[in-house]
Amino acid sequence: MLYCKNVQARTIVTEINLQVEETGERLDLYLSQHLSELSRSRIQQLIEQGHVLLNDEVCTSKKVSVKVGDRLSLEIPIAQPLELLAEDIPLDILFEDDSFLILNKPAGIVVHPAPGHPDGTLVNALLAHCPSLPGINGIQRPGIVHRLDKDTTGAIAIAKTEQAYQNLQAQLQAKTARREYLGVIFGAPKSDYGKIDQPIGRHPVDRKKMGIVPIEAGGRSAVTHWQVKERLGNYTLVHFQLETGRTHQIRVHSAYMGHPIVGDPLYSSKHSVGVNLPGQALHAWKLTLQHPLSLEWITVTAPPPRTFLKLVQILTSRTFT
Catalytic residue flag (residue 28): no
CA distance 14 to 137: 16
**Where does the chain have alpha helices with state H?**
27-34, 40-48, 122-129, 162-174, 249-256, 306-319
Residue 202 makes CB contacts below 8 A (sequence gap 6+) with 209, 210, 211, 213, 218
Report the share of the chain in percent with pLDDT over 70: 88
Around Cβ 54, how many Cβ atoms within 10 Å?
19
pLDDT at 118: 72
Using the predicted structure, report yes or no on whether residue 12 has a pLDDT greater than 70. Answer: no
Mean pLDDT within 260-284: 88
Is the per-residue pLDDT at 103 higher than 80? yes
More confident residue, 262 or 318: 262
Q: Which of 28, 70, 149, 264 is catalytic?
A: 149
CA–chain centroid gap for 86, Å, is 22
The confidence score (pLDDT) of residue 84 equals 77
Q: Is residue 81 over pLDDT 60?
A: no
Q: What is the mean pLDDT of residues 26-49?
A: 81
- Distances in Å between the Cα of 159 and the Cα atoms of 300, 301, 320 are 15, 18, 45
Strand, coil or helix: 267: coil
Assign 54 to helix, strand or coil: strand
Q: What is the pLDDT of residue 4?
A: 35
Residue 202, pLDDT above cutoff 90: no
Distance CA 84, CA 138 (A): 12
Q: Could you tell me the pLDDT band of residue 183, with boundaries at 50, 70 and 90?
A: very high
Buried b (16+ CB within 10 A) or exposed e, 56-75: eeebeebebebeeebebbbb
* Across 130-157, average pLDDT: 83
Better pLDDT: 206 or 210:
210
162 pLDDT band (50/70/90 cuts)? confident
> Nearest CA to 18 among 79, 77, 78, 59?
59
Band (pLDDT 50/70/90 cuts) for residue 78 is: low
* pLDDT above 70 (res 276): yes
For the segment 163-177, the average pLDDT, to the nearest whole number, is: 92
Instruction: Report pLDDT for 3.
Output: 34
The average pLDDT across 202-222 equals 88
Q: What percentage of the chain has pLDDT greater than the value 90?
A: 52
CA distance 303 to 154: 8
User: Could you tell me the pLDDT band of residue 282, with boundaries at 50, 70 and 90?
Assistant: very high
Residue 224 banded pLDDT, cuts 50, 70, 90: very high
Is residue 14 within 8 A of residue 76, CB to CB? The reply is: yes
Distances (CA, A) of 307 to 39, 168, 184, 207, 281: 38, 30, 12, 29, 9
- β-bridge mates for residue 185, sequence order: 236, 261
Chain mean pLDDT for the chain: 86
> Per-residue confidence at 185, pLDDT binned at 50, 70, 90?
very high
Q: For residues 135 and 28, which has the higher predicted lDDT (pLDDT)?
A: 28
| 107 within 8 A of 307, measured Cβ to Cβ | yes
Give the SS3 label for residue 319.
helix
Rounded Cα distance between 272 and 262, Å, is: 8
Q: Is the pLDDT of residue 5 over 70?
A: no
Q: Is 297 exposed, middle or buried (0-12, 13-18, 19+ CB in 10 A)?
A: exposed
Query: What is the arithmetic mean of pLDDT over 41-61?
Result: 86
Whether 192 shows a pLDDT value over 70: the answer reads yes
pLDDT of residue 120: 86
As a whole number of Å, the end-to-end CA separation of the chain is: 73
- The residues, any chain, with a CB within 8 Å of residue 161's CB and separated by 6 or more, are 98, 99, 100, 132, 136
More confident residue, 39 or 267: 267
Q: Are 74 and 37 in contact (CB under 8 A)?
A: no
pTM for the predicted model, two decimal places: 0.74
